[in-house]
Amino acid sequence: MDSKALEHLLDDDKFDITRVAQYVTRLPLTNANRERLWMILLGLVPSPSVLQKNSLQTACPKMGYIFNQRRRLTWTLERGLLICGVLKPDYSRATTLVLMYLLFNGKLKSSTEDILQTEEARNLLAIAQVLAVEGRFTFDFSILTGFLKFVRNLQISENSIRESVKVHLNNSEDSDLLRHLTTTGVLSMIPIDKWLKTWFAGFIHETAIIAIWDRLLGTNPERLMLCTCVKFITTKKDEIMKENKPQIIQKILEKPLNEKESESLVEEVVDTYLAF
């Protein structure tokens, strides 16, 4: 879909949020369109009509005010972290975003070193590293807060995903993998809980996983996560089939994919998801 078709989709007189969700589900996004559409789907902008022309910052005076307020909040939080001596010059943008988020939510109560070692902070950091990729988002803190609120409201059942993974593997050419996982006792140990806590951030490379997250904001996110879980497991099939020790197999399933592996996996996930 070209830019003119996208403008037509976002036309205020015909605007339908369902159509926008279908758009991000079925079509790849450029960085420019991604921020625009994410902010609509995450509820960070009040109306699509103000985004039809020009940049996000200059679409209209009302929108300019909204973005100035977002920019001011970001500046205030960063300034607060600096004054408190929490923010260090060598911290990455992702770490800064995590500290800003914790401060904003009243959770920055212990030393920086201690807080960053908590499970919540580690999971947040994995997510923030995806959103903080250079050139991806201008309003990265707003996107982070909106994304976290969005995924918290998703009704995705870990148990349902786990059972569906079994069914899918059993009904595919990977039934031998299912038998091996069952025989070794690993089936119940597949780290689906860890994958879903970060939406696969930290497991799939940050340059590739954004294409999955685009569709997470679209339609049927549980089906998307099922496809991702299955493909992540089958991608490691050769390694898994060589091992019989549960602890080693579990480590294989928790090992992150490199960039090339991630790009290949994401392509397969998207194809499977759209064909489901």
Q: Average the pLDDT over 165-170 and give the result.
A: 94
CA angle 180, 182, 186 (to 5 degrees): 95
| Phi, psi (deg, nearest 5) at residue 219 | -110, 145
Report whether pLDDT(48) > 60: no
In this prediction, residue 12 carries a pLDDT of 57
Take residue 251 and report the two structure tokens written for it.
């480590």
Q: Radius of gyration over alpha carbons of the chain, in Å?
A: 20
pLDDT at 130 > cutoff 60: yes
For 32, 48, 114, 138, 145, the CA distances from 74, given in Å and listed in that order, are 21, 23, 23, 11, 11
Residue ranges of the domains in the chain? 3-51, 61-152, 158-275
> Are the beta carbons of 186 and 251 closer than 8 angstroms?
no
Query: Domain 61-152, CATH 3.30.1370 — does that match?
Result: no
Beta bridge partners of 201: 204
Higher-confidence position of 76 and 12 = 76
Phi, psi values for residue 201, rounded to 5°? -65, 135
Give the pLDDT of residue 32: 78
Is the pLDDT at 147 greater than 60, yes or no?
Answer: yes
Given a cut of 70, whether residue 46 has pLDDT beyond it is: no
Q: What is the pLDDT of residue 69?
A: 85
What would the pLDDT profile of 72-98 be if each residue is shown by its tens digit?
999 999 999 998 888 888 899 999 999
Given the candidates 1.20.120.1200, 3.40.50.300, 2.40.40.20, 1.10.472.80, the CATH classification of the domain at 158-275 is 1.10.472.80
What is the distance between the alpha carbons of residues 131 and 207, in angstroms, rounded to a whole number?
10
Q: What is the mean pLDDT of the chain?
A: 88
Contacts of 150 (CB under 8 A, 6+ apart): 41, 42, 217
Q: Is the pLDDT of residue 57 over 90?
A: no
| pLDDT above 50 (res 53) | no
DSSP string computed for 111-177: -HHHHTTSHHHHHHHHHHHHHTSTTT-SSHHHHHHHHHHHHHT----HHHHHHHHHHHHHTSTTHHH
Cα-based angle 267, 273, 274 (whole degrees, multiple of 5): 95
Mean pLDDT of 60-68: 69
Q: Which of 88, 230, 89 is nearest to 167 (CA)?
A: 230
Contact 144, 127 (CB under 8 A): yes
Mean pLDDT on 137-147: 94
Q: Which residues contact 72 (CB under 8 A, 6 or more apart)?
A: none
The encoded tokens of residue 271 equal 């194809």
Average pLDDT over residues 176-195: 96
Task: Tell me what pLDDT residue 61 has.
Answer: 57
Between CA 209 and CA 199 the distance in angstroms is 9
Query: What pLDDT band is residue 270 in, cutting at 50, 70 and 90?
Result: very high
Q: Residue range 237-263: average pLDDT?
A: 96
pLDDT band of 275, cuts 50, 70, 90: confident
Average pLDDT over residues 212-237: 95
Report residue 54's pLDDT band, with 50, 70 and 90 as the boundaries. very low
Least confident interval from 41-45, 65-69, 81-85, 221-225: 65-69
Report percent pLDDT > 70 for the chain.
88
Greater confidence (60 vs 63) lies with: 63
Distance of alpha carbon 57 from alpha carbon 114, whole angstroms: 37
Percent of the chain at pLDDT above 90? Answer: 63
